[in-house]
Amino acid sequence: MAKPKLCLIPATIGDKVYSILPSNGVGDFDFNRGSEATRINAQGLIERVSSGENRLNYSMLDGEVVGCPSLLLEPQRTNLITYSEDFSNASWTNAEDAIITNNSSISPTGELNGTLFAAGNSNNFHRISHSLSISNATSYTHSVFVKKQNFNYFTFRYNLGSGGYSNVCFDLNDGVLVYNGLNCTPSIEKYKDDWYKLSISFTSIGTTGTVIYYISENQITSNTITSYTGDGTSGVYIYGAQLEQGSYPTSYIPTNGSAVTRVAETCNGSGDADTFNDSEGVFMAEISALDDDLNIEAISINANNSDNRLALFKWNVSNIIQMRVNIAGDTLIDVSAPISNIKDLNKISLKYKSGDYALWINGFEVYVNSLANTPIGLSNLSFDSNGLNGVPFYGNTKQIQYFDTALSDTELEQLTSWDSFRDMTQAQLYTIE
């Protein structure tokens, strides 16, 4: 196979995203995020990353790091919970005999800052809660890290406005959802040392959001909560509460006295006019989306505008990749292709040449076109639609490759196929026995 002209395999952290090729720096991406953020590091721990530094984020499988890191790009989100780690603060209401003991466990950061949430020895509901102002009829996601101490079950209760409350119960022993209430989407993700990131996504009803945590020895199987008598020491460990506006959970945003915003990340400016061949080439990306949320996002080779470009879009239809080719301001190819799961890693290639366009996904050619023209003035590879931060891509990127010649079908199959069954299963986070 021909050698790529530009190749990105994320391997460092800083204010640049460095490309392996070309080696003179022309292929490096300009990265920006004007705030602190967090990532999962090579040890599987949550780690803070300074403002302006990009994030190499590691995937977890059953609480262990697997594979190489991906470049993580996320949209702007704000953690509305003002004390995300101090559950003894007055912003958290404890009125029903819950015992909160700070610094009782090693948290997902690897530090002694996890909190013991135990049930007191009276007959009560043993809960803590947090209320704050939110917008009506708006998507929100609440998440918190929880680890079993002596109790197996942790329950979110959230406010449905005039519809009352709904419960979502998780089993911390087996790491599974055991009860899902009304009108929400729950998720559970295992972290290091048997910590779980639990989350629920829902659409608000009313302008007050109330987050309530219950713990128990027995699972909850309805929207009813039953009181019981604790022993004063048994419960669960908790860390890192987050309420953010959006339909899916993003990386943890620590707070300590006020809401904190992680601003959106931009990554563009790779290559120049000498890097890209206007006549022919192949653009390949191994990527996964953060969510199948129907927001349009793109990665493109462009002329710093939308008039001449080759773009791959995450489309506003579930699990759809959109290929778009614009020449001299006209959209001459605009075609969609289904994908099994847009949140999984997928290898996608766009080939262009006069009379020979094609789209390949995971080893298969899914579209061809004999368009006789090609874009002109290509000079920029960017994680957006036009080099100007139009519909930016948010997700995980394992690699980007650009070839300045049109590869053969055999080469394209090889480029977009998984090298082995093991590579494929690890990429999809399956376990090989």
CATH number for the domain spanning 154: value is: 2.60.120.260
**Whether residue 10 is found in the same domain as residue 52:** yes
Average pLDDT over every residue of 369-393: 97
Average pLDDT, the chain: 93
| Tokens (6 digits) for 235 | 């419960």
The DSSP 8-state label assigned to residue 193 in this structure reads G
Q: Is the confidence at residue 431, as pLDDT, over 60?
A: no
Judgement on whether residues 363 and 408 belong to the same structural domain of the protein: yes
Residues 92 and 127 occupy one common structural domain: yes
pTM: 0.93
CB contact burial 138-176 (16+ within 10 A = b; e otherwise): ebbbbbbbbbbbebbbbbbbbbbeeeebbbbbbbbeebe
pLDDT of 420: 41
* C-alpha of 414 from chain center: 28
Instruction: Give Cα separations from 78 to 84, 120, 212, 253 (angstroms).
Output: 12, 33, 20, 8
The count of structural domains within the chain is 2
Give the CATH number of the domain where residue 18 resides: 2.60.120.200
What range defines the domain where residue 293 resides?
6-75+265-427
Q: Are residues 203 and 279 in the same domain?
A: no
Per-residue confidence (pLDDT) for residue 425, from 0 to 100: 41
User: CB neighbours of 259 closer than 8 A, spacing ≥ 6?
Assistant: 78, 79, 80, 81, 82
Which residue in the block uniquely carries the two structure tokens 């699990």?
A: 319
Give the pLDDT confidence of 7-66 residue by residue, as tens digits.
Answer: 999 876 677 788 999 999 999 999 999 999 999 999 999 999 999 999 999 999 999 999
The answer to whether residue 1 sits within a structural domain is no
Q: 285 with 354, same domain?
A: yes
Radius of gyration of the chain (CA): 24
For residue 426, what pLDDT band results from cuts at 50, 70 and 90? very low
Q: What is the pLDDT of residues 290-334, one digit of tens each?
A: 999 999 999 999 999 999 999 999 999 999 999 999 999 999 999
Residues 364 and 298 in one domain: yes
| Same domain as 207, residue 70 | no
Q: Distance between terminal CA atoms of the chain? A: 33
pLDDT at residue number 161? 62
Q: 297: which strand partners?
A: 314
Q: What's residue 13's pLDDT?
A: 66
In a domain, 200, yes or no: yes
Number of H helices and number of E strands within the chain?
Answer: 2, 33
Give the domain-ending residue among 262, 279, 296: 262
d(CA 385, CA 295): 13
103 found inside a domain: yes
429 pLDDT exceeds 50? no
